Amino acid sequence: MNVNLLAVSVGNTHVRLGAFLDGKITESRVAPAGDLDAFADAAKALWTLVQDAEGAACVVASVNPGPTRAITDWITGNLDTDALRVEKDMRIPVGRQLDHETIVGEDRLLNAAAAYSVLKQALVVVDAGTAITIDFVDGVGTFHGGAIGPGARMMLHSMQQGTAQLPEVELVRPKEAIGHNTAEAMRSAVFHGLRGMTRELLEAYAEAAGAFPLLVATGGDAPLLFEGWELIDRIVPDLTLIGIAVTLQAALNAEADADGDDDEEED
């Protein structure tokens, strides 16, 4: 890849931003999804890294419509560039085997496109954020969907909200499997429960596919949940942002191919 861009991924809880030069991410930042000032500070800093590069662009993906309009308006008004939108201005370059009229989160498709662009084989992406998604991509790069569940922090919070005596617990890796106090018992259930769900789905996907896929992890809680786990091939914190770069590169390649075809017809 040789794209130069500011990639913006608007999530449920955070906005992730990344500056790419010649297709490589040079710096990334995170801002709260509802804090436009924090986003603006991060966007200004990262745009200065790419704005003078050839073909510099800003591309936005979103699974959270609430703050997205304000973010795209701010980009257009302050960065002297258009805010291009994934799936509107450019299609994510991944095949899709889904039920008719299914709407799938852009982040899931971007993760699939990014991981497959490197691995070029059947794989599973587990994205551990506000929610946790565990998705299957086959050996020719087709996204089949997968599973969606509550993320680790949502699980802990729901236990506190739905019971009379369970406390609000901070998410940290449990010291051991057996929780010797309430907080550790809650953490153990979440930590091992999410790992167990991931393992069970990975094995089910492998049975359906007839081959064992590689497992790639991303999302804010991925290091805490999966660091050092024998089933994980790699943890890529900026996988969604890389997917945006892959999408822009595919769109530029398609545009160049179309221009080449037009030139041949004129000759």
Catalytic residues: 107
Query: What count of other Cβ atoms lies within 10 Å of the Cβ of residue 52?
Result: 8
Full DSSP string of 189-223: HHHHHHHHHHHHHHHHHHHHHTS--EEEEESTTHH
The radius of gyration of the chain's CA atoms, rounded to the nearest angstrom, is 20
Closest CA to 16 of 31, 2, 6: 31
Residue whose tokens read 């449920």: 12
* CA atoms within a 13 Å half-sphere pointing along the CA-CB vector of 102: 13
Q: What are the residues facing 28 on neighbouring strands?
A: 18
Closest CA to 189 of 159, 167, 148: 159
Query: What count of other Cβ atoms lies within 10 Å of the Cβ of residue 25?
Result: 16
Whether the CB-CB separation of 190 and 149 falls below 8 Å is answered with no
Distance CA 15, CA 27 (A): 14
Structure tokens at 144: 């089949």
Structure tokens at 36: 């436009």
Structure tokens at 73: 């308006």
Q: Give 252's contacts (C-beta < 8 A, 6+ positions apart).
A: 3, 55
